[in-house]
Amino acid sequence: MIFLDLGLQPFANEYPKNTKDKEKKYRLLIDFNKKNGVISIKKKFQSNKIFKKDYPYRSSISKTMKESFRKLSNKIKHKFRKNKILEIGCNDGVFLKNFNRKNSLGIEPCSNIAKLSKRKGINVLTEYWTYNLSSKIKRKYGKFNIIFSANTITHIQNLDEVFKAINNILDDDGILIIQDPSLLELIKNNAYDQFYNEHIYVFSYLSLSKILDKHNLKILDLENIKDHGGSIRYYIKKNNDKNKLSTSVLKQKKLEIKNGLNKLETFIKFKKRVENSKKKFVNLLKKIKSDNKKIIGYGATAKAVTVLNYCKISSKYVDYFFDTTPEKQNKFMPGVKIPIKKYKKLKRKFVDFAFLGAWNFKEEIFFKENNYIKDKGKFISHIPFPKIIP
Ligand code: TYD
């Protein structure tokens, strides 16, 4: 059942080089599956249409993410004492660089990004995650006792194949750790910008546990973490009678039921909040412009692409974006074609307001821009509702 229409959208991580470049567009409709509570985008693209040789996203671009992956690596080494590790979607090696190179293997289909991992000495296969690939890996490397995947499983259309392939090479006593944005946090924050062509699914504990059931996999523990504006890290094992559920799992289950994540009406109410958010955001930008103030964007994120195209915000409102990723600089925000410039520290002389495209890194950004804030420079955030901060 479709409950939200976010309009005609370009591909989020394809940054045009020129304003006249032709872009592929699709209608971003969000669906609630009444049977299993799975939330997905209606138009689902194959991985090879999106994750190619010139993918611009680098996980190591923020200190926050580096720190989060370092801490998890320590936990895996010291608490679980597991040492043979496979990562699905290892990006630039931000996680695997913390492990012994001999016992770890990364899968990364985007060759430009895989190269960055290889430069760190990590063993990487430049491939898509499929059942065939898992069999090939099993023949060459045997099974693994940790399989990790961050912000990747939700990007792959065929979840049955994903988990069948994982089952194929996970040790019987191995741990599957996956982390992805939390549906509950998305709903609480009105973070409709978590929806774009790459985010095919947004999991809740309730929906993911149903998908895993079919594959005899069980979520035994979970943690709510701050990554990507609120994610859940799930600890999953092959189901057996000895496995015990942690209290955090039961707590999350209760919380999600209490917040109605299994009911369509929750998402219809969310849709109304999203429509209000759009009105409020457009009015806020109009008001600031009518006072002759200058607005720029901070963080040319995929999420911002959804917001700008849904709210139809062009360079009439936001002059340009700053971003630290070399692959995005001197290009344009998809769809609305706002220029992206190489990042420089914000200066009050040039900027009155900065729209937080990377709102999920607010703390890191505020720390970095403390002089701008001291000089009464302001940010705009649409999360949880459009407003000026601090
Ligand atoms: P992210 O929020 O992970 O976005 P998405 O998955 O929605 O694309 O991406 C962060 C983007 O923000 C990335 O392009 C780098 C940029 N960025 C900055 O320009 N400055 C910063 O201080 C931080 C933390 C990120």
Amino acid at 154: T
| Residue 209 Cβ < 6 Å to ligand 1 | no
Residue 336 Cα to ligand 1 middle (Å): 18
Write 181-184 long-range contacts (CB < 8 A, 24+).
181/151, 181/154, 181/228, 181/229, 181/230, 181/231, 182/224, 182/230, 182/231, 182/232, 183/39, 183/207, 183/256, 183/261, 184/230, 184/255, 184/256, 184/259, 184/261
Q: In this predicted structure, what is the pLDDT of residue 276?
A: 98
> Residue 367 — φ and ψ, nearest 5°?
-65, -45
- For ligand 1, atom 9, the nearest C-alpha belongs to 301
Q: In this predicted structure, what is the pLDDT of residue 241?
A: 79
The pair of three-digit structure tokens given for residue 288, joined into one six-digit string: 């600031």
Q: In this predicted structure, what is the pLDDT of residue 186?
A: 98
| Residue 323 Cβ < 6 Å to ligand 1 | yes
Q: In this predicted structure, what is the pLDDT of residue 62?
A: 87
The sign of the CA dihedral 37, 43, 48, 49 is: negative
Alpha-carbon distance 178 to 189, whole Å?
22
DSSP state of 146: E
For the CA of 357, the closest atom of ligand 1 is 12
| Residue 224 Cβ < 6 Å to ligand 1 | no
For the CA of 322, the closest atom of ligand 1 is 19
- For ligand 1, atom 4, the nearest C-alpha belongs to 301
Which of 43, 63, 50 shows the shortest CA–CA distance to 334?
Answer: 50
| Residue 184 Cβ < 6 Å to ligand 1 | no
3-state secondary structure of 351: coil
For the CA of 301, the closest atom of ligand 1 is 8
Q: In this predicted structure, what is the pLDDT of residue 242?
A: 82
- For ligand 1, atom 19, the nearest C-alpha belongs to 323
For the CA of 300, the closest atom of ligand 1 is 14
Q: How would you label 280-310 residue by residue, b for 16+ Cβ within 10 Å and e otherwise? A: ebeebbeebeeeeeebbbbbbbbbbbbbbbb
For the CA of 12, the closest atom of ligand 1 is 8
| Residue 303 Cβ < 6 Å to ligand 1 | yes
| Residue 338 Cβ < 6 Å to ligand 1 | no
User: Could you tell me which residues are beta bridge partners of residue 97?
Assistant: none
Residue 327 Cα to ligand 1 middle (Å): 12
Please report, in tens digits, the pLDDT of each residue of the chain (390 residues total).
Answer: 999 999 999 999 999 999 999 999 999 999 999 999 999 999 999 998 889 898 888 999 888 899 999 999 999 998 887 789 999 999 999 999 999 999 999 999 999 999 999 999 999 999 999 999 999 999 999 999 999 999 999 999 999 999 999 999 999 999 999 999 999 999 999 999 999 999 999 999 999 999 999 999 999 999 999 999 999 999 999 998 788 889 999 999 999 999 999 999 999 999 999 999 999 999 999 999 999 999 999 999 999 999 999 999 999 999 999 999 999 999 999 999 999 999 999 999 999 999 999 999 999 999 999 999 999 999 999 999 999 999
DSSP state of 339: B
| Residue 150 Cβ < 6 Å to ligand 1 | no
Residue 37 Cα to ligand 1 middle (Å): 30
For the CA of 324, the closest atom of ligand 1 is 19
First-residue to last-residue Cα distance in the chain = 39
